[in-house]
Chain A
Amino acid sequence: MSAAEETIQERTAALKGLGTSRKRVEDARFTQGKGNYVDDIKMPDMLFGDFVRSPYAHARVKSIDSSAAMAVPGVIAVLTAQDLEPLSLHWMPTLAGDKQMVLADGKVLFQGQEVAFVVAEDRYIAADAVDLVQVEYEELPVLVDPFKAELPDAPVLREDIADATEGAHGPRRHPNHIFTWEQGDKSATEAVLAEAPVVAEEMVYYHRTHPCPMETCGAVASMDKVNGKLTLWGTFQAPHVVRTVASLLSGIAEHNIRVVSPDIGGGFGNKVGVYPGYVCAIVASIVTGQPVKWIEDRMENLSATAFARDYWMKGKIAATDDGKILGLWCHTTADHGAFDACADPTKYPAGFMNICTGSYDIPMAYLAVDGIYTNKAPGGVAYRCSFRVTEAAYFIERMIEVLAIKLNMDAAELRAKNFIRKDQFPYHSALGWEYDSGDYHTAWNKALEAVNYTGLRAEQAQQVEDFKAGKTRKLMGIGLCHFTEIVGAGPVKNCDILGMGMFDSCEIRIHPTGSAIARLGTISQGQGHATTFAQILASEIGISADDITVEEGDTDTAPYGLGTYGSRSTPVAGAATAMAGRKIRAKAQMIAAYLLEVHDNDIEWEVDRFVVKGAPERFKTMKEVAFASYTQVIPGVEPGLEAVSYYDPPNMTYPFGAYICVMDIDVDTGESDIRQFYALDDCGTRINPMIIEGQVHGGLTEALAIALGQEIAYDELGNVKTGSLMDFFIPTSWETPNYQTDFTETPSPHHPIGAKGVGESPNVGGVPAFSNAINDAFRAFGLTHTHMPHDHWRIWKTANDLGLHS
């Protein structure tokens, strides 16, 4: 069949563009063990670095004796803060405007903190030598409770800034206080609360957890002393920013640094920040002139590199007697650990926590967040979410339930009564955001119908009766959640990281034979960028996705971008891809018009070709145009077919969804069993439905983990109690329920293809759905709220406290 005889439908399908469930091109190598991760990098003479870490949460370092370690054959060096100080590298800046010790400078502030860096010929020798470094500690009082941080007798953690009354985000009122961040109208909100007919109050704790990607963090630094070039391979979610930071810290000119993120085995926010291991590997390579590898093990990953959450959110929500919400008040105590190393845009020290009005039309709101130092690991990253959006969604979705209890009202009805209506978009929230688009009522009604919500409530009521009659020891919980995310950071006018505007980029080169390569400023950690970005481009330029290579992660070749986290790749880099594709098409149109001997305006684009208006048999395909651009002289047009776009989004995108979880709970053992989970996602234009479904399954499973048991717990001495996968809950297929996915499609009005991003929605919406189900099961017995994680013994305790065991 010739190209002319194919139908438009056939030609469109052949592109495998937008809306196609195209198989992931990455999976051939991942499923065959052919990926290339940082730890796969092996170089001649490569050395290995390993950390001596603090066993104490708070202690003075009296002395470090590395003589026994240095005596081990094969040990090259033992670096301490003293060695880094002449280079001013014993401390480093954090992304949140604070600074962090690279190696312990006089004291340690959390268990697992980096104290010395042993460099040896292999990792076995390094581990042996780590054991031989003698560190003398003097234990200091430990602060693990953020509510005790500002007591008069609280130990002062950060002696380096004890007297600083001004921090990166405004005034500090105590040596353990980092910042206060306020949004909204305090006095007006408090006035609403004072006069409202109904006010519900609750303390909602979103416990400390950890992204725990399958691959831990690591780096290989290689300083070539002949040409002065430093190459740094690492598990970086933002390789270009790492290059700039490395240049600023080391003084090596930026063009002499090449940063490469190879395949990354999951990031989930854990790989956004800069860690002492990277700095030490670079220094060790500069000092020795040999490549140095550092790879953390699982326990190091869980106890020392970035945690997530740990927000104590005190809420008040005001409403009329019939359930119309009048105002929302929130005070959050944010436990940041020993250093403020949150990965947030500079102007947002509590991320986008001010999305905490959720999916609701709340006329008045106030939010204050106090950041606090404690003797815990630093971090506070966005674990599969946009900055602090999970915390915000969990807070409002719990507060809605608490209000429903107070009003003695059905929680689904209360939500529907307060949703922002379709005709209110673009919607300006009381805490300052402009929601781009949404149709919440349609999604909500679809969800309620899909699960037969009325039937479920009737069944639940019967089960409560049966329980009271002694016929069963099980309770049924129905967990509702309607979430609204804010992703795609973000507009350069208000979003930057270390001053770098949060745009992103795409550079496209069409080859003479009509295939292409696209390079982006983002970096996939499993999201499937090589698959989906090729699909965006295929629909824009009419070249099959199979003929487009997508490349990311090498700063020597990729255009500058801010990386992949916070569901920003599709909203920002995806937009850049579409825009660059449109530039290609604009130039191609001129070439096609020349080839067809008509005016530019006399041809129009049709799937994969330019067609002369009114003469459909006269056309030039993009492939033919590409060839011509390299082989013919086109008057007035440069040879070749390339384009680049740096995209600064005009707004964030606001994906949303309706999730319903049905759970059976054994009140005697505290075991929970998920009977049904329905997830409706609206991520705007859908690029690859299969990948969306995979993302939803993965995100829901992480949400399940967090809600039902996953935590980083500390004892009173600041010892990490959940530092291995024996205790840190990662669900297997056995614990993972069947998920029922669904969608509505409300495009973003400001995004070139209308896409909003989806990877993080299931984590943001999943956690409240799971938690609400547990809470809801006990509603009939007088429970208002119980904290996560809902593991067996905590569920059992809830039942026990309600007198259900007597």
Chain B
Amino acid sequence: MTLTRHDVEHIARLARLQIREDQLEPFAGSLSRIIDFVEQLGSAATDQVEPMAHPLQGMVQRLREDRVEASDQRDLFQQNAPETAAGLYLVPRVIE
């Protein structure tokens, strides 16, 4: 197994994902199979190859002028928020 329970706990912490105790072992197994599977990329000769980040080669990122376009839609957007008060998003106390 490439990844251990401990590795899964560490990755889950980085990704801010709670993983139940009884799921650590199954995830270690399936993630190991995936990592073992992608290891075959090592067989490709890529010394002189440029990495490809997106498929539109030769195109440059379009920029726009920095001017206000969108209107204030705070109330509309906050209809989807789990908890708000006075137009603010509420979160648990961060500073004691």
Q: Do A and B bind each other?
A: no
Mark B residues whose CB is within 8 Å of A: none
